[in-house]
């Protein structure tokens, strides 16, 4: 039998997990955790390996700056060396829970963060290049966010989904980005206007 790390490498090399899902709002292809696991399980069995996923909540900061992160750890074990000294290799992924719960209850907030964190952990462990980073202001895979009703604190209108030609944003994501930048829920146009005013203020105009 090949060495443990050689078999892990074989799984990484043989793994094919195409992006067969389409985000109808953002217009991009993606894969989720279930897709990765479905493609990986047959290869793990073939090469005598087992994969386990575990989550834990980590808290950073305090007061208003306190943030909750989900840390997901993906670990591959060597089935042949079963026991306390079993060979293994792990990779962790992190995703921050949203500071607010607009459009989602607490379980959905944590569940979404867990899904992202697990996906990042699996990407690192299995050497998958995902292409789109959901924490980079791209829209979340969950279409539930599209139906969220959030009112702009500036113009008073409901925040609508927005696509800037490169990627799409849900009302929830627009509100989160606005909260991070201005401390308020702004729609896309009001956030853009506030950014312009902020730039002028810095120049003393």
What total of structural domains would you count in the chain? 2
Shared domain check, 73 and 56: yes
- Do 167 and 135 sit in the same domain of this protein? no
Q: Are 7 and 81 in contact (CB under 8 A)?
A: no
32 and 129 within one domain: yes
What would you measure as the largest C-alpha separation in the chain, in angstroms?
72
The average pLDDT across 70-82 equals 90
Q: Is 6 in contact with 49 (CB distance < 8 Å)?
A: no
**Cα(104)–Cα(78) distance, integer angstroms:** 39
Query: Are 164 and 66 found together in one domain?
Result: no
Angle between helices 106-126 and 33-46 (to 10 degrees): 40
**How far is 155 from 186, CA to CA, in rounded Å?**
8
Whether 115 and 164 share a structural domain: no
Element (H, E) at 12: helix 4-14
Asked whether the beta carbons of 152 and 186 are under 8 A apart, the reply is: yes
Q: Are 110 and 71 in contact (CB under 8 A)?
A: no
Q: Which among 33, 77, 35, 40 is positioned nearest to 55, based on CA atoms?
A: 33
Final residue before a domain boundary, out of 115, 142, 169: 142
Output the average pLDDT for the chain. Answer: 80
For 39-74, the pLDDT digits (tens) are: 999 999 999 999 999 999 888 777 766 778 889 999
Between 111 and 183, name the one with better pLDDT. Answer: 183
Residue 178 is predicted with a pLDDT of 87
**Res. 37: pLDDT tops 60:** yes
Same domain (yes/no): 131, 170: no
Instruction: Please count the other Cβ atoms lying within 10 Å of the Cβ belonging to residue 200.
Output: 10
Say what the pLDDT of residue 134 is: 44
User: Tell me, what's the pLDDT at 136?
Assistant: 38
Q: Which domain holds residue 92?
A: 4-142
What's the rounded mean pLDDT across residues 190-196?
90
**Class of residue 105 by CB neighbours under 10 A (exposed 0-12, middle 13-18, buried 19+):** exposed
Strand 162-163 and strand 168-169: pairing? Answer: antiparallel
User: In terms of domains, do 136 and 158 share one?
Assistant: no
pTM score of the predicted model: 0.60
* CB neighbour list of residue 131: distance below 8 Å, 6 or more residues apart: 19
Q: What average pLDDT score do residues 156-182 get?
A: 80
Same domain assignment for residues 125 and 152: no
């Amino acid at each position: 039998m090949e060495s443990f790390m050689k078999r892990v490498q074989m799984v990484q090399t043989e793994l094919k997990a195409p992006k067969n899902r389409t985000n109808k709002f953002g217009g991009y292809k993606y894969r989720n955790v279930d897709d990765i696991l479905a493609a990986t399980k047959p290869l793990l069995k073939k090469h005598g390996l087992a994969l386990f996923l575990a989550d834990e909540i980590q808290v950073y900061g305090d007061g208003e700056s306190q943030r909750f992160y989900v840390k997901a750890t993906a670990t591959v074990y060597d089935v042949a060396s079963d026991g306390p000294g079993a060979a293994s290799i792990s990779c962790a992924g992190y995703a921050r829970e949203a500071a607010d719960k607009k459009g989602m209850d607490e379980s959905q907030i944590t569940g979404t963060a867990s899904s992202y964190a697990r996906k990042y952990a699996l990407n690192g462990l299995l050497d998958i290049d995902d292409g789109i980073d959901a924490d980079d202001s791209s829209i979340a895979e969950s279409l539930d966010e599209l139906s969220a009703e959030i009112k702009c604190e500036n113009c008073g209108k409901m925040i609508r989904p927005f696509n800037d030609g490169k990627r799409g944003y849900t009302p929830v994501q627009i509100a989160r980005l606005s909260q991070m930048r201005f401390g308020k829920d702004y729609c896309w146009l009001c956030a853009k206007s506030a950014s312009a005013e902020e730039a002028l203020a810095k120049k003393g105009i």
